[in-house]
Structure formats: C-alpha cells, structure tokens
Structure 1
Amino acid sequence: MLHRRWLGVYAAVFAAAGAAFLALPGVVTGLLSVPGAGASLWLGLAGSLMAVLTLLAWELSRDPAQAAVWRALLLSKAVSSALFIVFARQGGPGYLAAALVDGALLLHLAFLREAHEPLCAWEPRLPIWPVIRHEAFFLIFRDPASQTAFWLRHEADREGGRCQWAVTDKEGVRQGSWEEKPFAGFTRNGSKAAGPEGAWGLSWEDGPVRPYALVPRWLWRLGLAGSMYVTSAPAASFSGVVELGGRRWTLEGAPGCVGHLWGRRHGARWRWAHATWPERGLMAETLAAQGRLGLWRTPLVSTAALWKDGNLSLTSALGGPATEGGTWSF
C-alpha cells in the first residue's frame, strides 16, 4: 500500500502548487523568474500540460470507455476556461478570446463524452458514493394466458437491499417486499428471489429493441435530474415461474421490459407507462418527471420512446402529460 500513499502525497503536492498559482501569483512568478531563463520555464510548464492533454486524447481515441481519462481532460479545459474569464478582468480581451476557445473545446469534448458514455444498462452503480444513493433493477411483464401483470424489483441503497413485488389481475392489486442482499438474485439474463411471501425464477430474451435512456443524460450530468433511468431490455420476453400471494404462474414468452434506475435522490413527482405488442412489432414507453434542486422544483420534463417498423424514436419536451379517457398525450 506504500505506492498508494506516495501517489496521495503527489496529489497533495500538485494541488498545493495549483492553489499557490491562484492565491499567490506574484510570489510564484518571482520564484520562477530565474535570471537568463526568459520564458522557457513557463513554456516548459505549458508544454508539459499539452503533452498530458495529448496523451489523454490519444488514450480516449483508442478506448472511449475510460471514465477517469474523460474527467481529467474535461477538468483541464473547464479550469482553463474559468481562469481565463477571471483574468480577462485585468488582462484585456486576449484572455476573453482564450476563454471562448477553451470553452468551445470543453463543450465539444463534453458532447463527445456523451456520445461514447455507456448507458450502464446492466452494471450496478451504487458503489459510486456519494453520487449514487439509490439503485434498482425492475421487471414488468404480462402473462397472456391469465391476463395478470407483474412488477418485480431488486433495489438497494446505503442501508441494504430489498425485493419488492406487485401482482395485478381481475381481483385487484397484491404487493409485498422482503430484505435481501443487494442484487443477489439479479443477473444479466435472469432474476431470482425467495422470501416469506413467495419466490420467482425468471429468464428473458432481450428482444429487438436496443437499450435507451429515458431520462436525457444531459439533465443528469448538469444535476437537474436527481435520478437516471435506462430501459435495459425494452421489449423483453420472459419465461419462468412466479409464486406470490399464494398463487403460482408458469410463464412462457410473457412480454414486458427490464429497467435500471439509479441516482442521488428520488424525483419530486413522476408518471411512467410502458406497453409492448410483440405480434404487431410495437413498443411504447413514456416518462414525465419533476426533480428537486434544494428548496425548488425543476420544470416537468416528458420523454417518450416508440418502436415501430424496426425503428426506435425518442423525443423529449417540457411539460407534463394530460390523461383523458384512458389516453396519455403531450
């Protein structure tokens, strides 16, 4: 573990040096003003930074999935843009021009990261503290034979894990929950759980629709969305056995979906609906949610996904849904 301590020392030294540049610019300039050196010391520092940025960009061109490398590259451009704006108050328009250039680079790099960011359709996110405070994988599906609808959920937070369930049929809604080790029974292609109220063992085929994010990722990155939601298998087909509420169902090809939800906080309010018609090649999903920012609430944002004729369409808009006569429109 000694090497990790040394790296921690280096991090502290670099942070202190950067703080000194900002807090004591005159002192640092005096220390670096070596007689006869001219501008070479400053060019050396700038050249080393450009070498690091070159390496970061090259590494990302080879493997865009390196989150730490993205953070380092974006941090560099964000800090330089902010400092150029600060220096422009005293140094003139040249600093403002530099801020515009680095700001444009920052926006473009952020766009590139968004394009390459994995959706995290199946990977648990909860260990990333304090960014992630709650997480859940859930399954919804309908048994065509009995016209029974199921909602099964594996969820976890910093206090532990739980299984939740709800069954809806002609007799009404039955629901319950029990404690479990976080995501102990959830895998990429299956879900198992057993508790005092019943058990289930299911597998699924993903279907033709690729995963998508129903919460716009730019809202999540800006902190305007407290939770992120990805539909991992939008048009899945479920098979297996469910025993809940004193009843048993054997399923084969039950249509539904798998969803993945995680975040810092739950939404202030939301509405959600999902439907699939395998025989017609149709799938639709919609979400309207409002987040929290301290004491304030963000505007309501609605997102809809439609799979039709082999094509997936996604759209988002401000405002909420209006339900009239069993329909949901925007």
Structure 2
Amino acid sequence: MTDSKAFLSRRFVTGAVIGLGLLGAKAVRAQISIGGFSTDDIKNIGKMLKGLTLGEEDEIRIGNTYYGALVDVSGGAYANRSIQADLDRFSVPLFDTGTRENFAWEITVIDNDQINAWVLPGGKVGVNKGLLRYVDNEHELAAVIAHEMGHAEYSHALSEMKKSSFADGLSGTVQRALVSELGGTAGALSAAGVGVAAGPMLRLVTSSYSRKNELEADQHILSVFAKTGHDVRKGCGIYQTLLDTVPKKAKGTTSLFAGHPDTQKRLDALLEASANLPASNGQAEPDASYMALKQTFPTRHHYLRNS
C-alpha cells in the first residue's frame, strides 16, 4: 500500500515539517503547541474524528478522490476492455437495486491475484481478477458485489473513520495535519482534509470492517438478491471457497475474509437466513456476461499463493 504521506497536499506537508522543526527548537512546560493546537489535541484526535459531521456529499467526494489512486496502488485496472465491459454489464442489475440515488456506482477489474474486492464511499467498487478466478457461479460473484454495496449503502467507512483504531493508524505527520485541518472546519472535513486521511482510508476499505458491519453487509446480499432473483444459497459458496483456499495459518484480513472463525460464523448466518427462502429464488438462465468472464478466468479449486 502506498504510504499515506504520499497523498498529502503540499500545504499540509510543508506545515507539518515546520511544526516538527518548532518542536525541536521550542519546548513549552505544560504543552507543546503546533499550529495553534496542543499535544493534547493530537492525543484526542480520535475524539475529534468522532465529532465530525459527515454526510453523503463527503462520501461521494471521498470516493471520487480516492478511486483512481486505490485502483492504481491495488495493481491497476486490468488491461482488457472486453473483460471490463463484461463486469460492467453483469453489475448493472445489482447496482440498480441501490437506494442511494446520488451514488454513481462504478466497478473496475483490478490486476491483482488476491481473492478480494472492496468499495469506497460513494459506490466505487474494485474486484480483483484473483476473485474472478475463484467464484464458481454467477451467484457468488453477485454476492461479493452485493456485500460491497452494503458497506457503501450503510456508510460503514464513515463509521469506521470515527473509531479510535482508525485514528491510531494515522502517522504523526498526518495527525498533526489533520488536527490543523479540523480546527478550521467546524466539524466538517474539507477536500484538503479528505486528502490528509488517504492512506488509512485505503487500508480500511481493503481490510476487514468491524464484525457488526461485515454481518450487516452480508445481510445486504439478501436484500439485493430478493430483487435480482439470484440464489443466496449458491452465493454463499464464495465464503466456503475462502475457508477452503486460504491457509488456516494465514495472517491478516481482507474486505471479504475476516479470519477462519469469523468467516465461518458469517457463512453460517447467511445459510441460516437463506433456509427460509423459497427454492425458486434462483435465476433460470446463466448470465451471459458472467459466462464471458469465465472464458478468461475459469474457476480454480485450489489455492495458488503467487498465481
């Protein structure tokens, strides 16, 4: 992942460097002041983030600001227009179920072999080509996209930003810059402030959310499938695939895989919820766009770490 400092604007980098210089030259007995803010302000940056008033406009701005950068640092867009067009067509009926009317839903095939997908606030989705190799049917691919849509629909990234764990992930330089930014915006995050938090935001959307948010995104699959006619039971297979293919000793999490115990619980919850659905919930005809994707990415049933 590209270091978050690379996304800082020149104004914030310069201000932070000056502030660091002052630290070495001028100590204050009780507190150190940086740009009008004390070290206590920096310690309490989590509380400052929690107090932010963020809305749909902020989500859209965050998505538009970071989308190209996250695609690039994730491996870049897969250089095949036909494949991209197939995924676009496949996603249309799923995106049509969205309730956030101001979101311009968008999806990109990422040239990355990891079995993962992600979404930015505002409805900007990335699907790794590695995931396309491991979905076994169209319902599994639809489940992945519906899950990521859930994170965007329910503003999970914004809620995660207000947690102490997000603030703890900020470097000292970014913390000082963000304190300065928050001080002049009366609880709102400006376009410049969005840029300051880029690195941690990119890490957030490509790794696991809280258990509550992941379960809520999983439940969103049910809502989407009720409208599209996809089969929830067949869609659950992607979680079993993750359990079967990711080594049990593998460390770290992704947007889809939260470790073996939690992923198993999520699979069980979806299977339990789908048990009450009518057997006719599945689509009758295979999706042509999905079949076209599988011509390039036939399904693998074993884990290839460096494939």
Tell me whether the two structures share a fold, i.e. TM-score over 0.5. no
- TM-score norm. by structure 2 comes to 0.29
More strand by share: 1
Larger relative CO (CA 8 A, sep 6+): 1 or 2? 2
- TM-score norm. by structure 1 comes to 0.27
The structure number with the bigger radius of gyration is: 1
